[in-house]
Amino acid sequence: MNNLINHITSKKSEELDWANLSKYHEENQKLMVSKKNLNRIVFIGDSIIEGWYDSNPNFFLKNNFINRGISGQTTHHMLVRFRPDAIKLNPKMIIINAGTNDIAGNTGPLTSEMIIDNIYSMVDIAIRNNIDVSLSSILPVYKYPWNENVKNPPKIISFINSNLKKFCKDNGLIYIDYYSSMVDKKKGLKSIYGYDGVHPTRSGYKVMQKIIKTLIPGIK
């Protein structure tokens, strides 16, 4: 894996580094050799997770959270980088927030079942490595501003979230339900909680922080 990373980094090619493995490579290397703060939680996801750190870095720093969000990514990308960006950091827990960009068609058309299977594959990898894992709901979206051709996002999101919730219940995992507290009457993201109908505002992230504090012990 290190030889592959070095090759990708030297080329500095987006085409080669399709999953953006190089983005956190240096940070990951430092964390892997550090014996400090091993009681860490990794958040892996897309721009919603990446933007959470930008909105409130102190929330991540004081809780020993590791942010591994990358804007625009789908579950395909996350599955490729799940080991180097999450598993190999030896966390006590991994929280997966994924799926909205798949629905938006960022890497081409996918069925709901494909999205769910990719998420379940990440869960399976975590469990096989004796790491606790939690799944987050997909945030409500009425329409995607960069792809308004997606038909009925609320229906797709509701279907996937229902499956994730049931999966967590059946397997004794924590399901983090941001959706129910942030959805409006149209089944989109409440305007106070999102600036473009997809990405949270500071107020939106505050709601998410409040929810996760009630579910994960020890969060400040």
Q: Output the domain CATH number for residue 158.
A: 3.40.50.1110
The pairing of beta strand 41-45 with beta strand 65-69: parallel
Interatomic CA distance for residues 115 and 126, integer angstroms: 17
pLDDT tens, position by position, 42-73 = 999 999 999 999 999 999 999 999 999 999 99
**3-class state of residue 136 by DSSP:** strand
Q: Is residue 87 part of a domain?
A: yes
For residue 151, give Cα distances in angstroms to 16, 99, 147, 154: 32, 15, 10, 9
Q: Is residue 112 part of a domain?
A: yes
Domain count, the chain: 1
Q: What is the pLDDT of residue 10?
A: 52
Q: Is residue 173 part of a domain?
A: yes
Residue 8 clears pLDDT 60, i.e. is over it: no
Residue 67: which domain range? 25-215
User: Which pTM was predicted?
Assistant: 0.92
Q: Is residue 8 part of a domain?
A: no
Q: Is residue 150 part of a domain?
A: yes
pLDDT-derived band at 91 (thresholds 50, 70, 90) equals: very high
Number of C-beta neighbours around residue 217 at 10 A: 6
Residue 5 clears pLDDT 90, i.e. is over it: no
Q: Taking the CA of residue 11 as centre, how many other CA atoms within 13 Å lie in the half-sphere pointing to its CB?
A: 15
Interatomic CA distance for residues 1 and 63, integer angstroms: 29
Which amino acid is it at 189? L
Q: Is residue 12 part of a domain?
A: no
Q: Is residue 220 part of a domain?
A: no
pLDDT tens, position by position, 65-88 = 999 999 999 999 999 999 999 999
Which amino acid is it at 38? L
pLDDT tens, position by position, 157-194 = 999 999 999 999 999 999 999 999 999 999 999 999 99
Which amino acid is it at 218? G
Residue 9 clears pLDDT 80, i.e. is over it: no
